[in-house]
Structure formats: C-alpha cells, structure tokens
Chain A
Amino acid sequence: MREKIAGGLIIAAALLLSYNFYHIFKVLPDDALQGPIYRILFIHVPAAITGMIGYFVALGLSISYLMTRNFRYDSLAASVVEVSVIFSLVNIVTGSIWARVIWGIWWTWDARLTSALVCVLIFAAYVMMRRAIDEPTQRARLSAALCIFGCVDVVIVWKSIDWFRTQHPSPVLSIRTGGGHMDPAMEHMFYWMLLAILMIASALVLIRTRQETMAREIDSLRRFANAAA
C-alpha cells in the first residue's frame, strides 16, 4: 500500500513538474534586474521550505516518541529528517550558485547562510549518530533530543532575515510581506513548484519509512534467532 502511494505521488509530481517547467522556462519572463537566473528561486526556496516543514514534522514526531515510547514515531522522525537534510542541501547548493551570479561570491558568513549551514550540519549529525548507535531505545531517545535541539536552529534560520541585517534578501512572498514584492504570476508558479517538491519529499519519506520498518523487523528477528540458539 505504502509503495503504491509513493508511486502515485511520484507520477503526480512528475506531471506537475512538466507543467511547472514549461511555465517557468517558456511562459514567465526574465526578471528585470537579475535576468534568467532568478528562475533558480523556483527550486531554491521550495527546497528550503520543504526542509523546514520536515524538521518541524520530525520535532512533533520526536516529542511523540518521548511521550509514548512508540518506535513508529522514531522511525518516521528519522525518515523525515533524512529527506529534509537532502532538500536543505539542495537549498544551500542552489543558493550558492545563485549568489555567485548575483553577489559575485559563492558564500558569505551572514546570519541566514550560516544558520542554514549549521542546521544541515546538526541534522546530518543526527543521521550519522543513528547509524553509530545499535541499541534501539538509546538511539531513539538521543535522536529525539538532538532533533528538538536542532529545531531551535531551524527557527533561527527562518527568522534570521527579520532579526538581522543580512546579505540574503528579505522575505518576498506575499504570505509574509502582505504583497507587492513579487509578481503574482511568479508567486503562483512558486506555489506549484512547492507542491511538486513536497510530493517528491513525501514519496521519499514513505520509501524511507518502509526501510526503517524492515530494519526493525531484521533487528527483532535477529534477537529472536539469538535467543532461540
């Protein structure tokens, strides 16, 4: 069932991406100041938002694990974090390429970029830590604690462009500014791209969760075999 839902999501995302790419590259005009490079926004920002949504979902799942000690929440949180790290990485790499054209530099240590990098490092550490700990209860408890700690940085990443003066631009989406900063046609396309990337991320989480379930099954069978021997 899970595989069917993941397959359906991937097909729907592929169809939506074809529609989106046609509009992004053929219909929408170039930006008056940036030229065609502004189109990187359609992957840079949705990837960032997907990552952030994932971290907050993982936060909820980690708290649920600590309250109930149900390993399903732990498996789900681990899957969501891993996929979110991938999209945060996409966000940082595309942002760096965009910065090279617009700012003339690949990277700057401003509050937004630095906090985003720290966020990726914290959650990459989460993924690596899980592989290093064999004992399931200890692994789940430490992972949940690290996830809660990491989400503090996610809030800093999100609010950094409001709290600090940064090289990174201020918010442009009408949902945060009340409108007037971005052409409505471009913003409309941005939300379709966000939907497509969220669908891909959800499909990847479903596949990854299936793997976590298999790993748990292997672990319990191995314990059973050891006990029976």
Chain B
Amino acid sequence: MDARNLTFLFYGFLAAWLIVLLYVLSLARRNARLKKELENVKNLVAQSESAPRLEDRVR
C-alpha cells in the first residue's frame, strides 16, 4: 500500500508542477510573439507617418 501510495504522491506533485510549468512556457512564447508583433507594428506606423498620404500623392 505504502509504495503505491508514494508513487501516486509523486505523480500528483509532478502533474501539478508540470501544468504550471507548461503554462509558464506558453506565457514565455506568447511574450516573445507579442514583442515581435509590437516591433513590427511600430515600424509600420513609422513608415506610414514618413510616407506621403494618398491625397498628397494625387495632388
């Protein structure tokens, strides 16, 4: 009983920390993606600000 008991205790703690760890990894991945996306959008805004507007080009 006790050996099986200890095995399941190990599984319980392992599962709990594994779920938290997987979530932390997903947060880290999402963070990297958001930083990259923010950089891209900032570049896009800078480009659109420096480029002449469509109305100006027509004129």
Contacts and interface: CB of A to CB of B under 8 A. Distances in A.
Interface of A: 34-37, 39-40, 43-44, 47, 83, 86, 89-90, 93-94, 97-98, 100-101, 200, 204, 207-208, 211, 214-215, 217-218, 221-222, 224-225, 228-229
Q: Which 9 A-B pairs have the closest CB atoms?
A: A40-B12, A97-B12, A228-B48, A221-B41, A35-B5, A37-B5, A214-B34, A90-B16, A94-B12
Contacts of B1: 35
A101 B38 contact: no
A86 B16 contact: no
Nearest to B37: A218
Contacts of B45: 221, 224-225, 228
A97 B11 contact: yes
B8 A100 contact: yes
Interface of B: 1-2, 4-6, 8-9, 11-13, 15-16, 19-20, 23-24, 27, 30-31, 34-35, 37-38, 41-42, 44-45, 48-49, 53-54
Contacts of A89: 19
> Which applies to chain B's interface (DSSP): helix, strand, loop or mixed?
helix
Given A35-B1, A37-B6, 17 more contacts: A35-B5, A36-B6, A37-B8, A40-B8, A40-B12, A90-B16, A90-B19, A93-B19, A94-B15, A101-B8, A204-B23, A211-B31, A221-B38, A221-B45, A224-B45, A225-B41, A228-B53
Contact of B38 (A37, A208, A214): A214
A229 B48 contact: yes
B58 to A, nearest CB: 14
